[in-house]
Structure 1
Amino acid sequence: MTLSLRPLLALVACLWLLPARVEAAERPARIVIDPGHGGAKEGAKGPGALREKEVALQIAHRLRTKLEAAGGEVHLTRERDTLMSLTERVSMTNDHGADLFISIHANSMPTPKMRARTEGVETYFLSANASGEAALAVADRENAEAPVARAARGDSTLALILEDLVRTEAHADSSRLAYSIHPKLVARTKAADRGVQQAPFFVLSGVECPAVLVEVGYISHPEEGAKLARGDYQEKLAEAISEGVLAFLRESRRRDASRPAQVASPGAR
């Protein structure tokens, strides 16, 4: 009698473990959206009173709504117009155990001539070496709020961190995420395609998950800046980023299907 019960007990034990495994497998993707700047740090300036910090926050809220509707667990690094350091943004992201990090920004040019002619979208992932001088200039501007001065780009500690990051799966996935989002941005908005770029952004350097920084357009351009202030255009941007994120998660889920516990993409049933 005792021997005949052993298979049944083994089955009960397996069934006892099953709910925990199913729950782990179906956990929604945990996504942190980072609206750039905030508070006294206004970011780039656009037509009239338009500021980068406002545009980034508005798009971030729209993006959160779309990703939550798809089943994601979404957190914003700032919910309103508040000052938050880059270090705090990184720490918050890691504390949440994020699966993805998306930083939203708007670009700018310094001179009237360049402001009048430069427009388009760019999507960045972290690299110790920038794609070019223009990409490095964008990183320098966004890193102005970092606790490390611009002149310290070659600091040995930061260089070691970046070199180590290059070898991680998160870095490879950051590239994949950028290439998943960017074409959808161009297709949805019909904006000028300034490509997927690499640069040493401080806010991306400490995040322990795939991370990208999206420059949604040039707020300094007279026409594109005006578009960035419009709700319908912000919806297009949010929809494009959401589509790119969901496509990335679906691809990652298929790739990781053999692993014992995966992150389910939003919208998965």
Structure 2
Amino acid sequence: MPSPRRPLLGLLALLWLVPVIAGAAERPARIIIDPGHGGAKEGAKGPGKLREKDVALQISLRLRDKLEAAGGDVFLTREHDTLVSLTERVAWSNDHAPDLFISIHANSMPTKRMRARTEGVETYFLSASASGDAALAVADRENAEAPMSRATRTDSTLAFILQDLARTEAHADSSRLAYAIHPRLVRGTRAVNRGVQQAPFFVLSGVECPAVLVEVGYISHPVEGPRLGRPEYQEKLAEAITEGVLAFLKETRRRDAARGTEVAGPVSP
């Protein structure tokens, strides 16, 4: 049985981080949380009536509460069970000029045998090449709602090159964000560690800031699936992701302060 002191210890850890990352030059970090799927797009299905779209939204709402409590300026791509296309999510997010983007999903396996034995958490950042066949399969499933072709984009060659250069540092920071979140996610939930992965996710490809996609567990697993639907476990997930975000912002603030650039931190001056 988990210790009743666990939620208190987690809260104290967050409160300890907040003053450390506060500073006179800070502005609140603007964070976009993207609950996967929604509306007619239910995503993966778990035991009973468990659906990925519902689990993703529930965890995202809890994550928003924790990040706002730490002083963040937080927005959700959807706050209800509504259908929002991947293209709309990317465009809306960029319109808000975010400092961070976090997409929340739940994983699944296609066969009964694989569903019975596959569980654990994965944290992804964007790459043209996937870490392996399993990572590519996850990206293919989550990209199923993406436009069939990107050939119709109207950007000029020069504009595309400039955008690509502007995203270079954001891509490096996406890796840093993933590695800040993932070990805390494993430690906070004691879920199976399936590692930090890379894959070509559509929703990450157009966002102009450090961006990660978190697969919070396998909703298709007979034990982990129901666990994802429990409020107390969702709290652990949200708390662990928050700790990772705060740690990332703390380190980023130090780096940007040394450069003399405007600093984004979760606490306003």
TM-score range, shorter chain: 0.7 to 0.9
Aligned to 1:11: none
- Name the amino acid aligned to 1:25: A
| Counterparts of 1:165 and 1:257, CA distance in 2 | 22
Relative distance call for 1:210 and 1:24 in structure 2 (3 A) is: farther
RMSD between aligned residues: 2.1
What stretches of structure 1 of length at least 5 have no aligned partner?
A: 1-22, 151-156
Given residue 146 of structure 1, which amino acid in structure 2 is its aligned partner? Answer: A
Q: Map of 1:26-37 to 2, 5 A cutoff?
A: 26-37=26-37
In structure 1, C-alpha distance between the alignment counterparts of 2:118 and 2:213, rounded to whole Å: 19
Is residue 2:147 matched to residue 1:140? no
Report the alpha carbon displacement of residue 260 of structure 1 after superposing the two structures with TM: 3.7
Aligned to 1:242: 242
Structure 2 CA distance for aligned equivalents of residues 49 and 64 of structure 1: 25
Which amino acid in the other structure matches residue 254 of structure 1?
R
Distance 2:221 2:180 in 1: 26
Letter in 2 for 1:245: V
Asked if residue 50 in structure 1 is aligned to residue 50 in structure 2, the reply is yes
Q: Distance in 1 between matches of 2:209 and 2:181?
A: 16
Following superposition, the deviation at residue 27 of structure 1 comes to: 1.5
1:129 is matched with 129
Q: Deviations over 1:163-212 (max 9, x none)?
A: 94797000000000000000000000000000000000000000000000
Which structure would you say has the larger Rg?
Answer: 1
Could you tell me how far apart the structure 1 residues matched to 2:146 and 2:27 are? 33
Give the ranges of 4+ consecutive aligned residues of structure 1 lying more than 4 Å apart after TM superposition. none
Deviation at 1:149, TM superposition (A): 5.8
Q: What pairs with 1:58-97 in structure 2 (closer than 5 Å)?
A: 58-97=58-97
Displacement of 1:103 in angstroms is: 0.1
Alignment partners' CA distance in 2, 1:166 and 1:143: 24
Query: Does 1:108 find its partner at 2:112?
Result: no
For 2:255 and 2:268, the matched residues in 1 are separated by: 15
Aligned length: 238
Give, in angstroms, the shift of residue 264 of structure 1.
Answer: 3.2
Separation of aligned partners in 2, 1:48 and 1:165: 46
Query: What do residues 65-88 of structure 1 show as CA deviations (whole Å, max 9, x unaligned)?
Result: 000000000000001000000000
C-alpha distance in 2 between matches for 1:24 and 1:33: 26
1:111-260 superposed matches below 5 A: 111-148=111-148, 164=164, 168-260=168-260
Look up the SS of the partner of 2:105 in the other structure: strand
Letter paired with 1:66: K
Q: Are residues 165 and 180 of structure 1, via their aligned partners in 2, closer, same or farther at CA, if it must alter by over 3 Å?
A: farther
Are the aligned partners of 2:27 and 2:266 in contact in 1 as well (CA < 8 Å)?
Answer: no
Structure 2 counterpart of 1:43, one-letter code? G
- Structure scoring higher RCO (CA < 8 A, sep ≥ 6) equals 2
In structure 2, what is the Cα distance between the partners aligned to 1:254 and 1:119? Answer: 36
Unaligned 5+ segments in structure 2 are 1-22, 151-156
The one-letter code of the counterpart of 2:40 is A
Measure, in 2, the Cα distance between the counterparts of 1:166 and 1:44.
Answer: 34
- Counterpart CA distance in 1 for 2:262 and 2:78 is 28
TM-score (norm 1): 0.84
